[in-house]
A and B are shown apart, each in its own frame.
Chain A
Amino acid sequence: GDSVTQMEGPVTLSEEAFLTINCTYTATGYPSLFWYVQYPGEGLQLLLKATKADDKGSNKGFEATYRKETTSFHLEKGSVQVSDSAVYFCALSDRSGGSYIPTFGRGTSLIVHP
Chain B
Amino acid sequence: SQTIHQWPATLVQPVGSPLSLECTVEGTSNPNLYWYRQAAGRGLQLLFYSVGIGQISSEVPQNLSASRPQDRQFILSSKKLLLSDSGFYLCAWSAIDKIWGTEAFFGQGTRLTVV
Contact = CB atoms under 8 A, between A and B. Distances in A.
A43 B106 contact: yes
A36 B49 CA distance: 19
A99 interface: yes
Interface string A59-90: 00000000000000000000000000000010
A47 to B, nearest CB: 10
Q: How large is the interface on A (under 10, 10 to 19, 20 to 34, 35 or more residues)?
A: 20 to 34
Interface of B: 6, 32, 34, 42-44, 46, 49, 51, 90, 92, 94-96, 98, 101-109, 111
Given A43-B92, A44-B104, A89-B43, 18 more contacts: A32-B98, A32-B101, A43-B106, A43-B107, A44-B92, A45-B106, A49-B101, A51-B101, A89-B44, A91-B104, A93-B94, A100-B32, A100-B94, A100-B95, A101-B34, A101-B46, A102-B104, A104-B44
